[in-house]
Chains A and B, each alone.
Chain A
Amino acid sequence: MKMINFGKRLLNSTLPVLLAFVIGGIIILLIGENPVDTYGILLGKSLFTTKGLLNTLHYASPLILTGLAIAITFKANIFNMGVEGQMLLGAFFSGVAGAYLPASLNPAAAKLICLAVGVLCGILFALVPAVLKAYFHVNEMVVTLMLNYAMIKVLEFLSTGVFRDYSSGYVCTPTIHDNAMFSRIGNSRITLFFFIAVAAFLVMYFVMNKSRLGYEVTAIGKNPEFAEAAGMKVHRKIMILMIISGALSGLAGSGYMMSEQFKYTLSFSGNPGLGWDGMLIALLGGHSPVGILIAAVFYAALKTGADHINLYSTVPKEIVSVIQGLIILFLAVKFVDEHTDIRKKLFGKKTGKAETAAAKEA
């Protein structure tokens, strides 16, 4: 039974991906390119060479963290869309800390301080919607979305005015000192940050699967009234979840700053942004930590592969964003019902197929 359930969950996660790739392939065909070759470059260069794989793991590190940050709140039916903003704030101030701390500081201490600043900023920013949601019942989704935009504007102001590095030709903050940078291991881009992300993943795996809090998260997600009636203090749990979420987002931001970007630019998190990518990853991984780990690596492979597509073929790399959008769209629909028993399973498969056909038409 457990295996069947697992199989269904796997099917529910892989079918949308396959569908999206098929539609993406059709689009590539339409602009007169070979989809098989394109996908070969996309995945081959990023997953099946050692250097490529290590680079992929490097880019997966912040995504694992933002994915976990999204998952822990979404699982409790709290829609924290503010991961992007929390991550940016954490990144910005850890970057500022890295640049303004004395360059002679002990490297370990400098890194720790920068990470701590990032995490703290993430938590502080997550506290605003958390308090509003827990004590004033304000819809957290709208608030976090609004605050994202507000935060991007504030950071734009800070990086063009107060903290601008005027020696640079474009808008950015000063580059962080060497003692706050994670150095690369070998000839790939991978740094210590990947291992920090994995450590955070292990902690979150324990929290979400083995601890009381993890159970409570599931209970609140399924039925908050029941959770309250069963004696859980739901509003306090919401605060805790948002704090964890904010801390993970802040860590993701500061780690990305210290291992990849080294200064805050206006396009720091790319488009659509690490926080939004994290949302896709959380959905793809079905809000389970192991799923998120796999999804993050897959997603990072798409990202690194996108650059290779630009180099080795004439297909624009924006095709990858289209595929990502399609993946989420199909993920919203459960192709196979996870809760039907074996006898109903055949029936479930039938409707699954019908839906697939209809979805293809869409």
Chain B
Amino acid sequence: MDILGNILYDTVYHSAPIVLCVLGGIFAYKANVLNIALEGMMLIGAFTSTLCAFLTHNVALGILLSMVSALIFGLIFSLMGVTFKGNVIIVGLAINLLTSAIARFVLVTMDTSNITLSFLNVADFQIHIPVIENIPLLGRILSGHPLITYISFIGIFIMWLLMYKTRFGIYVRVVGENEDAAKSIGLKTDFYKYAAVLIGALCCGLAGANLSTERLGLFTNDMTAGRGFIAIAAIYCGQGSPTMSSLYAILFGLARALSVNLSIYAGPAAGLFDVVPYVIMVCVLTAVSIVKRKNNKIRGFKNE
């Protein structure tokens, strides 16, 4: 019973940054701007929040700045990718490399290999919900998470509203599905693409702050460890729907929680549990693709 509670708690714990990343990525995905810079934006968010909290001892300011820094890279991304019509995949890759290089550069000039917020007790951030906390299993799962974790799960609903129930969401989807049509009715397509990328950057910055400052009080370089790419895979599997994509993100969180919790029993093979999420993702992608193509009548090969 205890281990089940632990696994489920860790599922929520590990899903949160990925869910946030997914939420950030879906708008760009729907606007037909493949944002693979999620990873880099998350990293810069994590880095700035910890650095700022380290320098000023003000966590709230750190989280705010994490969003600002991610927004700056979102602006660079959309400037290069949308305004100058550069290849978005290359721009994304460049931002991933650049952010990691900047973080490494600053860490070296500061003469450390990681930033630790020693003044901080991470347990203070955990919010214990009064009544729910006492329900046996449910309380263990739902209570005791930091703020951004709750934001990320509430965010699924907000993004769903924004995407399907507002004019803005509809326009973004129109721009993605048929740019010429969107232009012909007078939509400023570049504006919607910018907006989509910037929403993504904001969420990624938050995800980064959650990952480093709020959960661990620590930043090490490359601590995002491919979560941004997992988010992209989740978006692909869920085809950009907020709920479905988030579900895949939670699936990854579950796999990760399993690998962490079961590694106590597995001994030296513990490292292999970390492979499971990636393999699951590849299998899911394949299955989704097979189902999608089952009724395909197009002759020959079609790219994408």
Please report A residues at the B interface, Cβ cutoff 8 Å: 27, 31, 77, 79, 132, 134, 136-139, 141-143, 145-150, 153-154, 156-157, 160-161, 224-225, 228-229, 234-235, 271-272, 276, 279-280, 283, 316, 318-319, 321-322, 324-326, 328-329, 331-334, 355, 358-359, 362
In the assembled complex, the Cα of A333 lies from the Cα of B97 at a distance in Å of 17
- Min CB–CB distance A15 → chain B (angstroms): 13
B303: interface (CB < 8 Å): yes
Q: Which residue of chain A lies nearest to B101 when distances are taken between CB atoms in the complex?
A: A321
B158: interface (CB < 8 Å): no
The 7 closest A-B pairs by CB, nearest first: A325-B98, A332-B86, A321-B101, A328-B94, A329-B94, A150-B278, A234-B301
Please report B residues at the A interface, Cβ cutoff 8 Å: 36, 75-76, 79-81, 83-91, 93-95, 97-102, 104-105, 108-109, 222, 225-226, 229-230, 232-233, 236, 268-269, 271-272, 274-275, 278-279, 281-282, 285-286, 289-290, 292-293, 300-304
- Given known pairs A318-B108, A332-B80, the reply for A234 and B275 (CB within 8 Å) is no
In the assembled complex, the Cα of A260 lies from the Cα of B85 at a distance in Å of 40
Q: Which residue of chain B lies nearest to A351 when distances are taken between CB atoms in the complex?
A: B84
Contact of A324 among B101, B272, B292 (CB under 8 A): B101
Beyond A138-B282, A142-B281, A280-B97, 20 extra complex contacts between A and B, CB < 8 Å: A132-B282, A145-B233, A146-B278, A148-B226, A149-B225, A149-B226, A156-B271, A157-B275, A224-B301, A279-B93, A318-B104, A321-B100, A325-B102, A329-B94, A329-B95, A331-B94, A332-B81, A332-B88, A332-B91, A358-B84
Contact of A276 among B97, B104, B108, B226 (CB under 8 A): B97
Contact of B269 among A157, A272, A332, A359 (CB under 8 A): A157
Contact of B271 among A79, A160, A235, A333 (CB under 8 A): A160
- Given known pairs A153-B275, A319-B105, A325-B101, the reply for A142 and B233 (CB within 8 Å) is yes
Instruction: Determine if B289 and A136 form an interchain contact, defined as CB atoms under 8 angstroms apart.
Output: yes
Contact of A331 among B90, B230, B301, B302 (CB under 8 A): B90
Contact of A147 among B88, B230, B271, B282 (CB under 8 A): B282
Task: Point out the residues of chain A lying under 8 angstroms from B271, CB to CB.
Answer: 153, 156-157, 160-161
- Min CB–CB distance A101 → chain B (angstroms): 26
In the assembled complex, the Cα of A147 lies from the Cα of B283 at a distance in Å of 11
Main secondary structure of the interface of B (DSSP, over half): helix
Main secondary structure of the interface of A (DSSP, over half): helix
Instruction: Determine if B108 and A229 form an interchain contact, defined as CB atoms under 8 angstroms apart.
Output: no
Instruction: Determine if A325 and B89 form an interchain contact, defined as CB atoms under 8 angstroms apart.
Output: no
In the assembled complex, the Cα of A322 lies from the Cα of B103 at a distance in Å of 9
Q: Which residue of chain B lies nearest to A272 when distances are taken between CB atoms in the complex?
A: B97
- Given known pairs A150-B279, A318-B108, the reply for A139 and B90 (CB within 8 Å) is no
Instruction: Determine if B301 and A235 form an interchain contact, defined as CB atoms under 8 angstroms apart.
Output: yes
- List 17 interface pairs A-B (beta carbons < 8 Å), by A numbering: A134-B301, A136-B286, A136-B293, A146-B226, A150-B275, A153-B272, A316-B105, A321-B105, A322-B98, A322-B105, A325-B94, A325-B102, A329-B94, A333-B80, A333-B84, A362-B79, A362-B80
Contact of A359 among B84, B226, B290 (CB under 8 A): B84
In the assembled complex, the Cα of A244 lies from the Cα of B81 at a distance in Å of 30
Instruction: Determine if A229 and B101 form an interchain contact, defined as CB atoms under 8 angstroms apart.
Output: no
- Given known pairs A145-B226, A329-B95, A332-B94, the reply for A137 and B289 (CB within 8 Å) is yes
Task: Point out the residues of chain B lying under 8 angstroms from A272, CB to CB.
Answer: 97, 100
Task: Point out the residues of chain A lying under 8 angstroms from B104, CB to CB.
Answer: 271, 318, 321
- Min CB–CB distance A231 → chain B (angstroms): 10
In the assembled complex, the Cα of A136 lies from the Cα of B293 at a distance in Å of 8
Q: Which residue of chain A lies nearest to B299 when distances are taken between CB atoms in the complex?
A: A228
Instruction: Determine if A334 and B268 form an interchain contact, defined as CB atoms under 8 angstroms apart.
Output: no
Task: Point out the residues of chain A lying under 8 angstroms from B272, CB to CB.
Answer: 153-154, 157
Instruction: Determine if A324 and B236 form an interchain contact, defined as CB atoms under 8 angstroms apart.
Output: no
Task: Point out the residues of chain B lying under 8 angstroms from A355, CB to CB.
Answer: 84
